[in-house]
Structure 1
Amino acid sequence: MEELYLKDCYLKEFEATVESVKDDKFVVLDRTAFYPKSGGQPHDTGILVRDGEEFPVTFVGKFEGKISHEISVPGLREGDKVKGFIDWERRQLFMKYHTACHILSAIIHNETGAMITGNQLAENKTRVDFNLENFDRGQLKSYESKVNEIIDLDIPVTISILPKNEAFMIPSVVKLKDAFPPDVEEIRVITIPDVDRQACGGTHVSSTGEISHIEIFKAENKGKNNRRIYFRFRSD
């Protein structure tokens, strides 16, 4: 299956062929621009269209290496030619949140040395988890300001598909070396120059200037050495 979003996060529509349908609602295509739920980023929604008939896509997941599109209207069959349309407003929101998450995570790591242990994007907020013994809540406004400064610099964000050996020359990627399957040949790397460079399979904006300013509005202790902060986009 060709995962079109890996190379072009801005692809809003595409053509594909139905490879299989299970239980009249789980559809696998030969190629897709729909992002499956993974890595803390929610799935895309949208529609598949066959000869003018619409099949809303309500969930997208990856199972046993194949992306499955759950449709709410039955009727698609193996071999059908379809056109897919991404809910662009939802996709673009998560692209902005995901890139902002990379910026904030990089700042926290650079300022404290903490390792980022997880993140979760949502439509109205995003959280970042990190491993840190002493939690200085007074620094949160400083982190927020630094993220917004980087947003204002309108720095280009690039996506590279690198051979494994080349990717493992990047310090931030080689730290995760053991997390990759042993048979992986290429690694997708997201680069924000002078800010962050990470292996990532999610969708991102092409420039930090596309992101709204953020505000950090909540901080929690989630157990020994486990800290969590929440941020959202400012409405002003």
Structure 2
Amino acid sequence: MPEQFYQNAYLTQLDTRVLRHNEAGLVLEDTIFYPLGGGQPGDTGTVSDAAGTALEITDTRRDRMSREIVHLSAPDAPRFAPGTPVTLTLDWTRRYRHMRLHTALHLLSCVIRAGVTGGNLTAESARLDFDLGDEWVLDRDQIEQALNRLIVDDYPVSVEMTSGAALAAQLELIKTMSVQPPLDLPEIRLIRIEGTDLQPCGGTHVAHTGEIGRVVVKKIENKGSRNKRVVIALAD
């Protein structure tokens, strides 16, 4: 995976060059901006050139056909010519909250051991939907306490790679019931929380669970006959 956010989620600046820039958006030789996917929002920030022109990036998406990462801005924003050297500056405050909450959701899936039917996050809150029957009673305080214990224990978080064939032989690692990773790929990215969790994921994460900080369970909702939604937020 060549994109820099896969190599190092903590990079906040990157020098690169423009491949093309048109009405569809800005495509660069490389990027630190994470594109919308896996329930995690696309990154925002700025792209600037040596002349001082700064372009505000309002969203980042991956083109479905070409698989290129496209940086979006206002329709009337200036455009860079192909080959222009530019510097990317990530909205790190927003991205880091995404990283903290995304890792917290992985821990939540360890606290509530049930199939995950959906999930999403923003910089303000995050949620998972679980496939739970009526016999399940979720206690808000117990979930919050268990989740914060895992955070305080400060487990290392690391990236591993496996093949689709190998993952097909370990389907218990796939917690999401609604969307499964493409098992025909030669490489699939896994996120390991040491001694706690291992599951496929393409998102950005913190390096240790202690970085998440204290979280609160904002609410628990019934979403249909079996789905229960748990919404969490960072205490800060």
Decide: shared fold, TM above 0.5. Answer: yes
Corresponding position of 2:78: 74
Question: Which secondary structure state, in structure 2, belongs to the residue aligned with residue 2 of structure 1?
Answer: coil
Contact 1:14 1:32 in 2 (8 A): yes
Among 83, 88, 91, the alignment partner of 1:84 is: 88
TM-score, with length taken from structure 1? 0.89
> Is the Cα contact below 8 Å between 1:125 and 1:230 reproduced in 2?
yes
Aligned-partner Cα distance in 2 for 1:227–1:35: 29
Determine whether 1:156 maps to 2:160: no
Whether the 8 Å contact between 1:107 and 1:146 is mirrored in structure 2 is yes
Over 3 Å counting, the alpha-carbon distance change for 1:220 and 1:135 in structure 2 is farther
- Tell whether 2:58 aligns with 1:58: yes
Matched with 1:101 is: 105
Q: Distance in 1 between matches of 2:150 and 2:100?
A: 13
Residue identity opposite 1:118 in structure 2: G
Q: Are the aligned partners of 1:168 and 1:174 in contact in 2 as well (CA < 8 Å)?
A: no
Gaps of 5+ in 2: none
Q: Deviations over 1:150-172 (max 9, x none)?
A: 11111100012233344445443
Contact 2:164 2:183 in 1 (8 A): no
Alignment partner of 2:191: what SS? strand
Match in the other structure for 1:201: 202
Contact 1:137/1:219, CA 8 A, preserved across alignment: no
Q: Distance in 2 between matches of 1:139 and 1:209?
A: 23
Assess, with a 3 A threshold, how the Cα gap between structure 1 residues 224 and 138 changes in structure 2: closer, same or farther: closer
Structure 1 residues 138 and 163: alpha-carbon distance in aligned structure 2, compared to 1, 3 A threshold: closer
Given that residues 165 and 184 in structure 2 are in contact (C-alpha distance below 8 angstroms), is that contact kept between their aligned partners in structure 1? no
Identity across the alignment (%)? 34
Counting only pairs closer than 5 Å after superposition, residues 5-44 of structure 1 correspond to structure 2 as 5-23=5-23, 26-44=25-43
Hey, what's the Cα distance between the residues in 2 that align with 1:57 and 1:48?
7
Code of the residue aligned with 1:106 in structure 2: it is C
Letter in 1 for 2:234: F
Go from structure 1 to structure 2 and tell me whether the alpha carbon gap of 1:204 and 1:29 turns closer, same or farther (over 3 Å shift).
same
Contact 1:115 1:131 in 2 (8 A): yes
1:176 deviates by 7.2
1:172–1:197 Cα contact (<8 Å) kept: no
The CA distance in 1 between the partners of 2:15 and 2:137, in whole Å, is 49
Identify the residue that residue 4 of structure 1 maps to in structure 2. 4
Structure number with the higher strand fraction is 1
Equivalent residue of 1:103, what SS? Answer: helix
* Deviates further, 172-181 or 182-191: 172-181
Deviations 1:11-45 (A, max 9, x none): 1111222112221x601112111001111111111
**Structure 1 residues 166-207: Cα deviation after superposition (integer angstroms, max 9, x where no partner):** 444544346779933354110110001221101000000000
Give the TM-score taking structure 2 as reference length. Answer: 0.89
Displacement of 1:59: 0.8
Residue matched to 1:192: 193
Change (3 A) 1:151 1:180: closer
Q: Which runs of 5+ in 1 are unaligned?
A: none
Q: Distance in 2 between matches of 1:103 and 1:204?
A: 12
- Conserved 8 A contact 1:2-1:30: no
Which residue identity does 1:81 align to in structure 2?
P
For 2:84, the aligned partner's letter is: D
